[in-house]
Chains A and B, each alone.
Chain A
Amino acid sequence: MLKRVKHWGPGLLLLAPTIILVGVFVYWLIIENFRVSLTNQHTAKPSDKYVGFDNYTNLLADPNFQHSLWNLLILTIVFLGGTLIFGFLWAWILDKPAKGEGFFRAVYLFPMAVSFIASGVVWRWLLSSLQTDQPGGERTTGLNRLLDSVGLGFLQNDWWSNPTWGIAAIAVPAIWQLSGYVMALFLAGFRGIPEELREAARIDGCSEWKLYRHVIFPQLNPVMLSAVIIIGHMSLKLFDLIRAIVPDANTYDVQVPATMMWVKYIGSDYADAAAIGMILLVLVAIVVIPYLMYTSRAEKR
């Protein structure tokens, strides 16, 4: 027994700082956050009066918060769909050897290196909602101006200034920024498929479509899963991009839980802010925990 402790004791000791830091800054703070979310601390004045789950029931009954959840759902669907489509398409085209392939890959991936705050500056201008056929339309800029001048004026729209679909406009820059990343994931996936597998299928007379349907797609499932988890959890947390594009954090059209949490924090409504944080955590955990368990089990095998 002592010998075994001697064997793994030093390792545990070296890991101790990280265990303590993560223990305090992640797990303890989550518990503490949960505690705050059960109090009635709705002003800057500290309060320890517990109100049970009242803050949660009030939030979930609040049309504003319901709207933010609805927005989050649309954002996530569009963001996921867009990045998967472009990411897959680019990887699929670039998978076959091509001249200048490195250049294309580098260009498609470069938005990843830029912060949402920096790209938000230009997207704010691109997604400006004045239209040429509106009063004041001669001041149109951004994509609407471009669409008009190339004869696609009918595609002009209000972008994010729309209570139902405005949030989908926010997904456009997010897709621009992360499709390259999904492409890189798919490229790695494509290259992990042994060439013999494709050859064997071709020799068996598989059509190109059947080859994809029965050989390639099943092999890409793990990559697809990674992409969905990563983009999905980024989408749930998305905050910077919305702040950069929409000047007022309290804009109903593009309200999501992450921005609403910020508004509550600024207004010193700590209990509500904490409760929104918990709701976000639950949403992320539903996605991530099964995934973490799946990968740790897959590793053991």
Chain B
Amino acid sequence: MATSTLDRSAAPAAPGAAGAPNPGRRRINRTLKYVLLLFFVVVVLIPAYVLFITSFKGSSDADPSRAWFLPTTWETAGWSKAWTTLAPALGRTFALVIPAAVISATLGSINGYVLSKWRFPGANVVFTLILFGMFIPYQAVMIPLTQLMSTLGVPQGVPSLMLLHIVYGLPICTLIFRNYYESVPSELIEAARMDGAGILRTYASVIFPVSAPGFVVVLIWQFTSAWNDYLFAAFFSSGRNGPVTIALSFLAGGQLTDYAASMAGALIASVPTLIVYILLGKYFVGGLMSGSVKG
């Protein structure tokens, strides 16, 4: 998969022999390079710094002239307020995001298997039609969707959002798995077929056992995008039954904002996805890459 292209080890040896500049100039270049890299690290981390220091500020640091400085006293009032506000929503978000990720990944795996190894006439057209579902602006279906969901009687909040994340997650899950299975040798499938194994037995005995990396990528992708979703949540839930993005937007919204609490809240709401990113960054990038359609 695309992940491997990011591994340094996979890249060929460094250039440099041909027409190498003199060592002095090279040292200057290297210094310049690190200065640039560090400069951008600082720029990228500015928002994180502000979030962190502001979340620990109390009323004694309310003076804007101290806005960019560390707190004079480290107070945790913001954190405890944010936690009490967000805790129920955090629970709901886990309850909807985990099943949604697992179900759409499972369906995506089966779809990818069929579209890559058990093709039927017109399979490519069907695949492209499914893929288009990944790109549509959901605004273009939202009005009748609200109607449909109430006709179907799906309750607002967790059940609605779970269903929507499964359905609208299917295109990307299918895409990732299809591209992943393209790298599984077709001879394995043929051999299983020769032995008289049907489509499901072949899946269970040949495909599923080698699917773990695909599942990791898809589960991370689905977990992160459902966790970070706000659009569906805005249309299909309220502060009472909504996920953490809704709760956070209520905590931070309005004209008068408690900045300590809302910044602590933003950090709390980001912890799960950041943990995933830090622990499984390679697979996270793999999911991102597959968003560019080509495998």
Asked whether B111 is an interface residue with its Cβ less than 8 Å from the other chain, the reply is yes
As a 0/1 sequence over residues 28 to 68 of chain A, the CB contacts with chain B under 8 angstroms (1 = contact) are 01101100100000000000000000000000000000000
CB contact between B47 and one of A32, A119, A145, A258 (< 8 Å): that residue = A119
Among A102, A112, A278, the one with the most B-chain Cβ atoms within 10 Å of its Cβ is A112
Contact status of A145 and B293, CB under 8 A, knowing A15-B111, A90-B40, A277-B143: no
As a 0/1 sequence over residues 51 to 66 of chain B, the CB contacts with chain A under 8 angstroms (1 = contact) are 1001000000000110
Asked whether B101 is an interface residue with its Cβ less than 8 Å from the other chain, the reply is no
With a cutoff of 8 Å between Cβ atoms, the chain B residues found around residue A229 in the complex are: 292
Q: How far is the CB of A155 from chain B (nearest CB, A)?
A: 14
A274 closest partner in B (C-beta): B143
Residue contact A122 to B143, C-beta cutoff 8 Å: no
Q: How far is the CB of B114 from chain A (nearest CB, A)?
A: 4
Residue contact B145 to A29, C-beta cutoff 8 Å: yes
CB contact between B269 and one of A118, A142, A237 (< 8 Å): that residue = A118
Residue contact A222 to B294, C-beta cutoff 8 Å: yes
* 21 residue pairs from A and B, CB less than 8 Å apart: A8-B120, A8-B121, A14-B199, A22-B171, A26-B136, A29-B145, A32-B144, A104-B37, A117-B266, A119-B266, A122-B51, A124-B252, A142-B67, A145-B65, A185-B289, A188-B5, A188-B6, A274-B144, A280-B140, A288-B135, A292-B128
For the complex, what is the distance from the CA of A298 to the CA of B124, rounded to whole Å? Answer: 12
With a cutoff of 8 Å between Cβ atoms, the chain B residues found around residue A90 in the complex are: 40
CB contact between A121 and one of B113, B227, B262 (< 8 Å): that residue = B262
Asked whether A3 is an interface residue with its Cβ less than 8 Å from the other chain, the reply is no
Asked whether B98 is an interface residue with its Cβ less than 8 Å from the other chain, the reply is no
Q: How far is the CB of B59 from chain A (nearest CB, A)?
A: 15
For the complex, what is the distance from the CA of A187 to the CA of B280, rounded to whole Å? Answer: 19
CB contact between B110 and one of A14, A30, A280 (< 8 Å): that residue = A14
Q: Taking beta carbons and an 8 Å cutoff, which residues of A are in contact with B?
A: 8-12, 14-15, 17-19, 21-22, 24-27, 29-30, 32-33, 36, 86, 90, 93-94, 96-98, 101-102, 104, 106-126, 138-142, 145-146, 149, 173, 176, 180-181, 184-185, 187-188, 191-192, 194-195, 198-199, 202-203, 222-223, 226-227, 229-230, 233, 236-237, 239-240, 243-244, 247, 257-258, 261-262, 265, 270, 273-274, 276-278, 280-281, 284, 288-289, 291-293, 295-296, 298-300
Q: How many residues of B contact A (CB 8 A)?
A: 108
As a 0/1 sequence over residues 136 to 160 of chain B, the CB contacts with chain A under 8 angstroms (1 = contact) are 1111111111011000000000000
Asked whether B18 is an interface residue with its Cβ less than 8 Å from the other chain, the reply is yes
With a cutoff of 8 Å between Cβ atoms, the chain B residues found around residue A226 in the complex are: 292-294
For the complex, what is the distance from the CA of A285 to the CA of B35, rounded to whole Å? Answer: 42
For the complex, what is the distance from the CA of A115 to the CA of B231, rounded to whole Å? Answer: 12
A196 closest partner in B (C-beta): B12
For the complex, what is the distance from the CA of A278 to the CA of B143, rounded to whole Å? Answer: 11
Residue contact A113 to B270, C-beta cutoff 8 Å: yes
Contact status of A21 and B140, CB under 8 A, knowing A11-B120, A121-B252: no
Contacts A93-B36, A112-B277 given; 11 further ones with Cβ under 8 A? A14-B111, A33-B143, A108-B41, A121-B262, A138-B64, A145-B68, A192-B5, A270-B143, A277-B141, A281-B139, A288-B135
With a cutoff of 8 Å between Cβ atoms, the chain B residues found around residue A277 in the complex are: 137, 139-143
Among A17, A25, A149, the one with the most B-chain Cβ atoms within 10 Å of its Cβ is A25
With a cutoff of 8 Å between Cβ atoms, the chain A residues found around residue B137 in the complex are: 233, 236-237, 258, 277, 280-281, 284
For the complex, what is the distance from the CA of A109 to the CA of B235, rounded to whole Å? Answer: 29
With a cutoff of 8 Å between Cβ atoms, the chain A residues found around residue B127 in the complex are: 296
With a cutoff of 8 Å between Cβ atoms, the chain A residues found around residue B224 in the complex are: 113
Q: How far is the CB of A272 from chain B (nearest CB, A)?
A: 10
A123 closest partner in B (C-beta): B47
With a cutoff of 8 Å between Cβ atoms, the chain A residues found around residue B143 in the complex are: 33, 36, 265, 270, 273-274, 277
B220-266 CB contacts (< 8 Å) to partner A: 224, 227-231, 234-235, 245, 248-249, 252-255, 257, 259, 262-263, 265-266
